[in-house]
Structure formats: structure tokens, C-alpha cells
């Protein structure tokens, strides 16, 4: 690190669990953020500010006035622009020294399997069941940990799927692909704006921990947040031996 980086990341370097070695690890890491909406805004901004050296951001949508209530990476003067371009501008304003790759498109299975081998951690910041499963399948195939978040109305959830560990379930173990729930979105159900910031920020924190090897991850534990009274509940998640996605995972 140069002198400017030592100053920029000084509060990280002061942490015994991270230090200059851990910060160097972050600078040499690659995070994939799928979705540049509410969750992705907070997650991407904190990953950028924290010095993750390479970030790939994928989203097919453009900035809309209705997004600005919660999607803090975007601004009013960027309405109509691709969300990934808007988010990249905000990320570089925070930290111009990192490498940000943007893709204004849907991330289908082919795209994910092509790009996943270069990724160290993936963040699921989407709101689409099909895309979540495609991302999960690619993460399982390439042994990449997946940090997943979701928010609707006053309810939120957060977990990590890390199939590098034999007992850790994948997304399909918990939400089978042939049992799709009814699609709901904040466009019809509403969402309390700061909750997406809370979960997106925690996704970034979890990703940083995974990259630097700090503490225990959320693998096997689903955190549920009730925004009405700001209470957390934890559920234990089990790997399913008959899971169609991870039962033949390469590392077991």
C-alpha cells in the first residue's frame, strides 16, 4: 500500500483482526454484486469504500424516480441512466483507486458460469427467484461463497451459502427451484427504505469477513429482521442430501 492508501484504510488497519495484511487481501480481492438497487447500492458503496480492489456490478435496469426513496447509489440527475453506470459513478467518487466492472444486462446462467471463476465472493442483491437460483448454481459449481439478502415491507433476511464447507446448505436446499414462491416486489408491497440499507451494509460486512477470513460466517444460519420492533430471529439451515444443485458439489 502507498501512503494515501495507508491513510484511507487506517481505521481498518487499526483492527487487530484485519491490519495491513487483511487490507492488502481486500485490495487483491474480487467481489461480484448482482443487483444495483436498494441492497446493491449499500453493499457496493461499502465494498468500494472498504477497498475491495475489484468489484463487478451487474443490473439490467435504469434509474427511476421511484428508486430514489431507498437506492442511495443513485441521484435525481441520473434518472434514465443504467443503474450500474450510476452506481459506478458513486463508488468511484468514494474511492477512485479501485477497479469497477459494470454490466448493464441480466446475469443468466451462461454469463455467471463464464465470470464466476474470477470471483472471490458473490452478493445476491436481486429480487428475482430465477436469477437467485442461477447465481446459486454458479456459486456452487465454482465454490464461491454467496451472501444473500432480501427485504420486503418491514421484513428482512440475511444469510451466507458457502458450499466450500461440506455441511453448509446452498440456496436451493432452503428454497427448492421447483417450489417457486409467489413473486412479490416492493413496487406492489412497499418497503421501509432504511431496511435495505441495513441488510445491504451487513451483506458487505459479511463479504469483507469472508474475504479476510475474519470470525464466523452466517453459513447455516438465517437471520430474520422484524422492522416493526427491530428484533432479530435466527433459524438454523440444513443441507439437503437430495438437493438438485449441491448434492454432487465438487468439493464433497
Task: Give the Cα-Cα-Cα angle 136, 90, 29 (nearest 5 degrees).
Answer: 45
Please tell me the number of Cα atoms within 13 Å of 245 on its side-chain side: 26
Q: What is the pLDDT of residue 250?
A: 58
pLDDT at 252 over 50: no
Domains of the chain: residue spans and CATH: 3-236 (3.40.50.720)
Q: Which residues, in sequence order, are CB contacts of 202 under 8 Å at separation 6+?
A: 149, 158
Mean pLDDT of the chain: 94
**What is the rounded distance in angstroms from the CA atom of residue 54 to the CA atom of residue 64?**
27
Q: What is the pLDDT of residue 122?
A: 98
Phi, psi of 177 (to 5 degrees): -65, -20
**What is the rounded distance in angstroms from the CA atom of residue 52 to the CA atom of residue 56?**
11
Interaxial angle between packed helices 193-212 and 19-27, expressed in degrees from 0 to 180 and rounded to the nearest 10: 110
**28-52: pLDDT as tens digits:** 999 999 999 999 999 999 999 999 9
Q: What is the pLDDT of residue 107?
A: 95
**229-242: pLDDT as tens digits:** 999 999 999 999 89
Strands (E), 138-220: 146-152, 155-161
Q: How confident is the model at residue 189 (pLDDT cuts 50, 70, 90)?
A: confident
Lowest mean pLDDT segment, chosen from 16-25, 173-182, 192-201, 234-243: 173-182
User: Which residues are known to be catalytic?
Assistant: 186
Q: How confident is the model at residue 187 (pLDDT cuts 50, 70, 90)?
A: low
Dihedral-angle region of residue 191 (phi above 0 means left; psi in -120 to 50 means alpha; beta otherwise): beta
Lowest mean pLDDT segment, chosen from 69-83, 126-140, 173-187: 173-187
Amino acid at each position: 500500500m502507498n501512503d494515501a492508501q495507508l491513510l484511507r484504510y487506517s481505521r481498518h488497519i487499526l483492527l487487530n483482526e484485519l491490519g495491513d495484511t487483511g487490507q492488502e487481501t481486500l485490495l487483491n480481492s474480487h467481489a461480484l454484486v448482482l443487483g444495483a438497487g436498494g441492497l446493491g447500492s449499500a453493499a457496493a458503496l461499502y465494498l468500494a469504500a472498504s477497498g475491495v480492489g475489484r468489484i463487478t456490478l451487474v443490473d439490467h435496469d435504469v434509474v427511476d424516480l421511484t428508486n430514489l426513496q431507498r437506492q442511495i447509489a443513485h441521484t435525481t440527475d441520473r434518472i434514465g441512466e443504467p443503474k450500474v453506470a450510476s452506481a459506478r459513478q458513486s463508488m468511484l467518487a468514494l474511492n477512485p483507486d479501485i477497479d469497477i466492472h459494470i454490466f448493464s444486462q441480466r446475469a443468466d446462467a451462461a454469463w455467471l458460469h463464464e465470470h464466476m471463476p474470477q470471483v472471490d465472493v458473490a452478493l445476491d442483491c436481486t429480487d428475482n427467484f430465477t436469477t437467485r437460483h442461477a447465481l446459486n448454481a454458479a456459486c456452487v459449481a465454482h465454490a464461491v461463497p454467496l451472501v444473500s439478502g432480501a427485504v420486503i415491507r418491514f421484513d428482512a433476511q440475511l444469510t451466507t451459502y458457502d458450499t466450500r464447507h461440506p455441511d453448509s446448505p446452498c440456496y436451493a436446499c432452503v428454497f427448492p427451484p421447483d417450489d417457486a414462491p409467489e413473486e412479490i416486489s416492493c413496487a406492489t408491497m412497499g418497503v421501509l427504505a432504511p431496511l435495505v440499507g441495513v441488510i445491504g451494509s451487513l451483506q458487505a460486512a459479511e463479504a469483507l469477513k469472508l474475504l479476510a477470513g475474519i470470525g464466523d460466517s452466517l453459513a447455516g444460519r438465517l437471520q430474520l429482521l422484524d422492522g416493526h420492533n427491530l428484533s432479530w430471529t435466527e433459524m438454523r439451515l440444513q443441507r439437503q442430501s437430495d438437493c438438485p444443485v449441491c448434492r454432487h458439489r465438487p468439493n464433497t
